[in-house]
Structure 1
Amino acid sequence: MSSLSDAAPERRLPDSADVVIVGSGPAGAAYARILSETSPAARIVMIEVGPIVSDPPGSHVKNIADNAERARAQRASEGPRPQDDAASTNTMDDYASDAARLWRPGTYLLASGYRQPGEDGLPAAAFSSNVGGMAAHWTGACPRPGQSERIDFVPDLDELLDEGERLLGVSATALADAPLADEVQARLARGFDADRPADRHVQTMPLAVHRTAEGNLVWSGADVVFGEETRANPLFTLVPEALGRRVIVEDGVVRGIDVEDRRSGEIHRLTSPVVVVAADSLRTPQLLFASGVTPPALGRYLNDQPQIVHAVRLRDVEDAPTGSTADSAITAQSGVSWVPFTDDYPYHGQVMQLDASPVPLEGDVIPGSIVGLGWFCAKDLQESDRVEFSPDDVDEYGMPAMRIHYTLTERDHRTLADAAEAIIAAGELLGDPVGGDPITFPPGASLHYQGTVRMGEVDDGTSVCDPHGEVWGTRGLFVAGNGVIPTATACNPTLTGVALAVAGARRIARTLDALTSK
């Protein structure tokens, strides 16, 4: 992978490209990969505001075996306000915390503007700034959307999801043989499967993970999405520590982007007929706003997934054989199970083993017998749920400051109450509760933000982009990531976001081919 990361301090950014990609998470990486495969003559430049924290660039920090090295990678991902060295590096620490502003290693919270008077806000709204984005720190869950979660005006959605699974390296079998997995799923199935269609039965969670020959688990990050096709592409350049400040648009046509070199502070103009903004669901609309591209739906229909968590100790299970003992790998004893969303059951459940109990327990604990239950709810979508940007105030990167408007509706509160009953019922099927009653996480804790640059079938003012991710009325400007998802989802959105990025990359490839064939 061509990179300017190790260049001298006076490094010079490229002057031009055929495609510029802003953001190096899974969606941005999907654009780079598909274009590398289908348009090998295209010059691609990817900019990322954060540093390279892992090798290969974009790989999951959980794959870093050394605890101290992993901690350094997490701290380097925490943007302008990294935690001190004493902060936890274990994403399962405080799993069932009831903190008002829940924080996870490798991320940093929105400093201000996260709640307005009389509203719920997103007090746990968080970001990562590093090559690979949040995918350097995620759980790897890649379920497919079902029923009303699906986007009905994308006719080839299943084929796109297939391609997304290929790029992410998704497996439904990597943890399926965990010694306690069958028992966990059988117990859940007795309570949930009776009225469900077959594809919505309790099942193993598809995960972006694979096993090494030694049996260790390796978690996919953006590095897997990049693939060797991108790394070996001599016309692909990754520029870390570079901030997209303004997309240059003239007469409704993209001309390039102004980039700040975060090392020198200099602003560099990079000319390009195509710019893809894949900077997450809050920073993507921020860059469009800073660029004067402000369609009516920009920042609106903000969608976080209300989340409830619980923990139980499996009852009546035997001690299972020991799995992988690598520092950075989970020991696969009870695996990860999935209770899918349905329209009649508007939440998505995942049951995953915890490396340790969230509360002290007396006596010996069978490995894998402490499981965490996380239930994500489909949000009642509202145009008024939005992120706004200040024309005057700036954030820590000098970009327009964010102000979140976000409110849980009466329907959301009913859904949360029902989800609390459902997660208790699931826990009773499995074992005995630990740590007390289920906890409702503060809004924003899901990290599954969507909708702020949503796609639509037609340009009617309720969407930002078309079904291929191209912004309405702005030729050559594409948006990507979870923010383009227009439906109310409860399932983890990364697979869907990557699938939709594939459609956008294919559209760009056709455009570039047409230009070069003339």
Structure 2
Amino acid sequence: MSRQDGQGTDRSPAPRADVCIVGAGPAGALVAAELATSGHDVVVLDAGPRFDPAERTERMERRIRPAHGPESVWDMGGERDAFTSEGDMYYPLNAARVKGIGGTTLHWQGMVYRLHEADFERRSRDGVTADWPIGYDDLQSYYAAAETELGVAGADDNPFAPPRAEPYPMPAFPPSYSDSIFAEACEALEITTHSAPNARNSEAYDGRVPCQGYGTCKPVCPSGAKYDATVHVARAEEAGARVIDRAPVQRLEHDDAGDTIEAAVYATPDGEEHRQEARQFVLAAGGIEIPRLLLLSRSEQYPDGLANSSGLVGNYFMDHLAARVGGTVDQETRQNHVGFITTESHQFYDDGGEARGPFKLEFLNYAGPSPVGEALTSGPEAPWGDGLLDHIRESYGNYLEVTGLCEQTPQKANRVELNPDVTDDHGNPVPEIHWSIDDRTRRTIEAANERQRAIMDELGADVHWVVGPDSTGPAFHHMGTTRMGEDPAESVVDPECRTHDLDNCWVASSSVFVTGGALNPTLTIAALSLRVADRLDAEL
């Protein structure tokens, strides 16, 4: 018998489920859509709410008003989202994550890349870190499927990218005006540039409109032209899956032998707890909440946390580090005309060896303040009317920035653990993040800065800021906390993404990454998730 909470929503457990998925972001949504379409009974539990698509314009407006911080756009913060940070560097966890149906793809930039072949073989090629137990060839067909599912606009013009056997689903976005300025400098410096693939529509695709040019891609796309996981949540529900929002999973319970998970225990807004039983379980709640849930699920058989016989759950936490050089030039740059990146360079990605890791260069289309931001933050003495217009004309429109992502070398000491002294709204210990950067990562950032400065110098720019090793921050790509491997003593999941310790527990997440490369991880998350769905379909 169904039970409704005080909001009139049925959040009672399904009487029968083949698969219970924890998390309704891109990984969970893709697995749910694939399995539900194949005829399996699927239940998805997510900690956050359903966001009304009609409110996206309001959320966009909230983003461009300086009185609102980034957390307020998607209602992050408070006791529910509490965390602590230790280590050499503070980790601002809530600044760029979203809890809710669609997950962090509601907020993301929308850049999608296949990892390079070398990213899977860093130990073999460079003598550092570790190799993945799978290679690029194992994921190539899933990368292609993921590009189709998400809808990727791109061009096969990157000479440094791994091989591909098929075109992108949509043509690439053309280079921006500021890209043409950078192109001249890069040509003089013999730096090869190429297009950047984006999970946003350059033309109508999959029932969604082409990009409308709002320019607020991160943190909200009002038109829906940028992919987010609600696309596959809807597809899963149309195929019969149940997706339950505001149902944070408190713990996982296993059988007496400790071989299989029997139920996910979740809370609902009315204060009750429920048990969702299933034959198989997929953890898809991201690189912070997955290890936290496993650690919260400790038992007599697993005193250090579920699936943690290796002691590595939460260890090897990685992110990508920012390297940036920006300033002004004596010409118009049309800054903020495009809200995403259209040109990059991967020329220096794979030539680091043992000394440094990979990095990529990004030519920013939105350096400096927007016109709205300039007007709203120009100070109490700023003129209004025609005077304000003249002020903006004088101070706006000549900014440029070369940015980039740098690989963080995985270190066991970088980790996610529980802080028993701080609890969330259900009384559970919050995640505590230990984060620092090592010397090899510092050298990677320095190498990126050197190339960025050379480009800005070639342009004759006045450099206003440099983000280097001592001022860097994260890209909010949470990786590595349930790493993949053949040896159960050295990893949490096997090459199929099934936990070594429990035969019906799978992890679909960047948390399984062994190394992070220097490329945005969502396409690899999607490829791994489609692969997990294939394995589960065969298992069921």
TM-score (structure 2 length as normaliser): 0.75
What is residue 500 of structure 1 aligned with on the other side? 528
Pairing 1:348–2:344 present: no
Compared with structure 1, are the counterparts of its residues 379 and 34 closer, same or farther at alpha carbon in structure 2 (3 Å cutoff)? same
Amino acid at match of 2:198: L
Compared with structure 1, are the counterparts of its residues 386 and 318 closer, same or farther at alpha carbon in structure 2 (3 Å cutoff)? closer
Compared with structure 1, are the counterparts of its residues 169 and 267 closer, same or farther at alpha carbon in structure 2 (3 Å cutoff)? same
Looking at structure 2, the residues matched to 393 and 267 of structure 1 have their Cα atoms a distance apart, in angstroms, of 21
Out of 186, 190, 206, which is 2:187 matched to? 190
Looking at structure 2, the residues matched to 409 and 333 of structure 1 have their Cα atoms a distance apart, in angstroms, of 32
Compared with structure 1, are the counterparts of its residues 14 and 431 closer, same or farther at alpha carbon in structure 2 (3 Å cutoff)? farther
User: Comparing 458-467 with 168-177, which one deviates more in the overlay?
Assistant: 168-177
What is residue 85 of structure 2 aligned with on the other side? 114
Compared with structure 1, are the counterparts of its residues 71 and 268 closer, same or farther at alpha carbon in structure 2 (3 Å cutoff)? farther
What is residue 110 of structure 2 aligned with on the other side? 140
Pairing 1:310–2:325 present: yes
Looking at structure 2, the residues matched to 483 and 406 of structure 1 have their Cα atoms a distance apart, in angstroms, of 15
Compared with structure 1, are the counterparts of its residues 5 and 373 closer, same or farther at alpha carbon in structure 2 (3 Å cutoff)? farther
What is residue 212 of structure 2 aligned with on the other side? 216
Alignment of 1:47-58 (within 5 A): 47-55=45-53
What is residue 177 of structure 2 aligned with on the other side? 180
Deviations 1:228-248 (A, max 9, x none): 642421x21111100111112
What is residue 151 of structure 2 aligned with on the other side? 169
Amino acid at match of 1:223: T
Deviations 1:252-308 (A, max 9, x none): 1121211111x1110001110111111111110011111221232110111022212
Compared with structure 1, are the counterparts of its residues 318 and 390 closer, same or farther at alpha carbon in structure 2 (3 Å cutoff)? closer
Amino acid at match of 1:136: L
Alpha-carbon shift at residue 371 of structure 1 (Å): 4.1
SS in 2 for 1:449: coil
Compared with structure 1, are the counterparts of its residues 335 and 308 closer, same or farther at alpha carbon in structure 2 (3 Å cutoff)? closer
Pairing 1:267–2:303 present: no
Alpha-carbon shift at residue 5 of structure 1 (Å): 10
Deviations 1:60-114 (A, max 9, x none): x8xx3x3x25467x89xxxxxxxxx97437x7xxxxxxxxxxx684354974530
Compared with structure 1, are the counterparts of its residues 463 and 319 closer, same or farther at alpha carbon in structure 2 (3 Å cutoff)? closer
Alpha-carbon shift at residue 474 of structure 1 (Å): 0.3
Amino acid at match of 2:410: L
Q: Is the 8 A contact 1:22 1:48 kept in 2?
A: yes
Alpha-carbon shift at residue 171 of structure 1 (Å): 1.0
What is residue 35 of structure 2 aligned with on the other side? 35
What is residue 285 of structure 1 aligned with on the other side? 291
Alignment of 1:326-365 (within 5 A): 331-332=337-338, 335-340=341-346, 342-345=349-352, 346-354=358-366, 357=369, 364=393
Q: Is the 8 A contact 2:477 2:520 kept in 1?
A: yes
Out of 432, 435, 457, which is 1:403 matched to? 432
What is residue 383 of structure 1 aligned with on the other side? 412
Looking at structure 1, the residues matched to 473 and 35 of structure 2 have their Cα atoms a distance apart, in angstroms, of 33
Amino acid at match of 1:285: P
Q: Is the 8 A contact 2:488 2:500 kept in 1?
A: no
Looking at structure 2, the residues matched to 466 and 136 of structure 1 have their Cα atoms a distance apart, in angstroms, of 30
Q: Is the 8 A contact 2:82 2:430 kept in 1?
A: no
Looking at structure 1, the residues matched to 476 and 281 of structure 2 have their Cα atoms a distance apart, in angstroms, of 25
Compared with structure 1, are the counterparts of its residues 191 and 507 closer, same or farther at alpha carbon in structure 2 (3 Å cutoff)? farther
TM-score (structure 1 length as normaliser): 0.77
Extract unaligned runs of 5+ from structure 2. Answer: 121-131, 156-170, 214-224, 299-305, 353-357, 379-389
What is residue 248 of structure 2 aligned with on the other side? 243
SS in 2 for 1:45: strand
User: Comparing 403-412 with 202-211, which one deviates more in the overlay?
Assistant: 403-412
Alpha-carbon shift at residue 157 of structure 1 (Å): 1.5
Compared with structure 1, are the counterparts of its residues 398 and 427 closer, same or farther at alpha carbon in structure 2 (3 Å cutoff)? farther
**Aligned residues: CA RMSD:** 3.5
Out of 87, 93, 101, which is 1:131 matched to? 101
Identity %: 24
What is residue 413 of structure 1 aligned with on the other side? 442
Pairing 1:8–2:8 present: yes
Alpha-carbon shift at residue 426 of structure 1 (Å): 3.1
Higher-Rg structure is: 2
Compared with structure 1, are the counterparts of its residues 408 and 69 closer, same or farther at alpha carbon in structure 2 (3 Å cutoff)? closer
Looking at structure 1, the residues matched to 443 and 340 of structure 2 have their Cα atoms a distance apart, in angstroms, of 31
Compared with structure 1, are the counterparts of its residues 281 and 418 closer, same or farther at alpha carbon in structure 2 (3 Å cutoff)? same
Looking at structure 2, the residues matched to 24 and 401 of structure 1 have their Cα atoms a distance apart, in angstroms, of 20
Amino acid at match of 2:105: A
SS in 1 for 2:461: strand
Compared with structure 1, are the counterparts of its residues 253 and 121 closer, same or farther at alpha carbon in structure 2 (3 Å cutoff)? same
Q: Is the 8 A contact 2:328 2:464 kept in 1?
A: no
Looking at structure 2, the residues matched to 483 and 48 of structure 1 have their Cα atoms a distance apart, in angstroms, of 18
Pairing 1:88–2:68 present: yes
Q: Is the 8 A contact 2:5 2:270 kept in 1?
A: no
Deviations 1:176-229 (A, max 9, x none): 3245266256336426766xxxxxx52111111014567625111112344x64
Compared with structure 1, are the counterparts of its residues 444 and 300 closer, same or farther at alpha carbon in structure 2 (3 Å cutoff)? farther
Out of 202, 219, 222, which is 2:193 matched to? 202
Out of 242, 249, 261, which is 1:254 matched to? 261
Alpha-carbon shift at residue 478 of structure 1 (Å): 1.0
Amino acid at match of 1:120: M
Out of 503, 508, 522, which is 1:475 matched to? 503
Amino acid at match of 1:146: H
SS in 1 for 2:84: coil
Looking at structure 2, the residues matched to 237 and 334 of structure 1 have their Cα atoms a distance apart, in angstroms, of 34
Looking at structure 2, the residues matched to 365 and 153 of structure 1 have their Cα atoms a distance apart, in angstroms, of 54
Amino acid at match of 2:517: T
Alpha-carbon shift at residue 414 of structure 1 (Å): 2.2
What is residue 20 of structure 2 aligned with on the other side? 20
User: Comparing 393-402 with 243-252, which one deviates more in the overlay?
Assistant: 393-402
Deviations 1:318-340 (A, max 9, x none): 879xxxxxxxxx74499521222
Looking at structure 1, the residues matched to 200 and 329 of structure 2 have their Cα atoms a distance apart, in angstroms, of 25
Q: Is the 8 A contact 1:122 1:443 kept in 2?
A: no
Pairing 1:455–2:469 present: no
What is residue 323 of structure 1 aligned with on the other side? none
More strand by share: 1
Looking at structure 1, the residues matched to 228 and 487 of structure 2 have their Cα atoms a distance apart, in angstroms, of 34
What is residue 78 of structure 1 aligned with on the other side? none
Q: Is the 8 A contact 1:143 1:206 kept in 2?
A: yes
Looking at structure 2, the residues matched to 138 and 181 of structure 1 have their Cα atoms a distance apart, in angstroms, of 22
SS in 2 for 1:413: helix
Compared with structure 1, are the counterparts of its residues 455 and 318 closer, same or farther at alpha carbon in structure 2 (3 Å cutoff)? closer
Compared with structure 1, are the counterparts of its residues 215 and 473 closer, same or farther at alpha carbon in structure 2 (3 Å cutoff)? closer
Extract unaligned runs of 5+ from structure 1. Answer: 76-84, 92-102, 195-200, 321-329, 513-518
SS in 2 for 1:208: coil
User: Comparing 217-226 with 475-484, which one deviates more in the overlay?
Assistant: 217-226
